[in-house]
């Protein structure tokens, strides 16, 4: 009699998800396929940790509405309408951005419209333990800085610096 199937471990789920997520639209070289597989694997590893943190924050009562409109909808439904903690929002945004990168790769027709990389290439500020994984992710996406870098650059733009000076803010902080 055959043994019952083993429950899937997170790494088995990652592997299955990774294989499903990579659907090349044209034949890829082995090197390109390997790099894409590493990208998918790293994003799935990061998402697992982010989802665990989201779950923990929800258990601590730090989840909630993401914006005032969502808060109003919850209020109308007589549900808890507290605002989510910033840590919760940052984790959720990164999970969503990573899925936005991965999802089009599952459909060969959508792969052409896929973003060149994940929107966030830095960990949430309260999760420094993810820094090494994000460092590896940046190595897997050479030349791609994501939206984090673009937002930092716009914070250092002359217009932003002028506005910060008018508001009495230190321009050094805006550039950091």
pLDDT of residue 41: 95
pLDDT tens column, 128-171:
999 999 999 999 999 999 988 776 777 765 443 333 333 333 33
- Is the pTM higher than 0.75? The answer reads no
| pLDDT at residue 106, rounded to an integer | 80
Q: What's the residue count for the chain?
A: 176
Q: Which phi and psi angles does 115 have, rounded to 5°?
A: -65, 155
């Amino acid at each position: 009699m055959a043994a019952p199937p083993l429950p899937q471990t997170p790494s088995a789920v990652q592997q299955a998800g990774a294989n499903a997520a990579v659907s090349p639209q044209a034949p890829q070289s082995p090197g390109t396929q390997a790099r894409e597989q590493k990208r998918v694997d790293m994003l799935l590893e990061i998402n697992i940790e982010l989802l665990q943190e989201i779950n923990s924050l929800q258990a601590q009562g730090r989840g909630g509405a993401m914006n005032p409109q969502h808060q109003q909808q919850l209020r109308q439904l007589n549900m808890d309408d507290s605002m989510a903690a910033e840590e919760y929002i940052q984790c959720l945004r990164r999970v969503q951005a990573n899925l936005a990168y991965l999802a089009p790769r599952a459909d060969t027709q959508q792969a052409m419209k896929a973003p060149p990389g994940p929107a966030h290439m830095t960990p949430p500020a309260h999760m420094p333990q993810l820094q090494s994984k994000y460092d590896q992710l940046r190595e897997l996406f050479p030349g791609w800085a994501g939206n984090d870098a673009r937002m930092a650059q716009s914070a250092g733009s002359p217009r932003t610096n002028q506005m910060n000076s008018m508001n009495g803010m230190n321009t050094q902080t805006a550039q950091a």
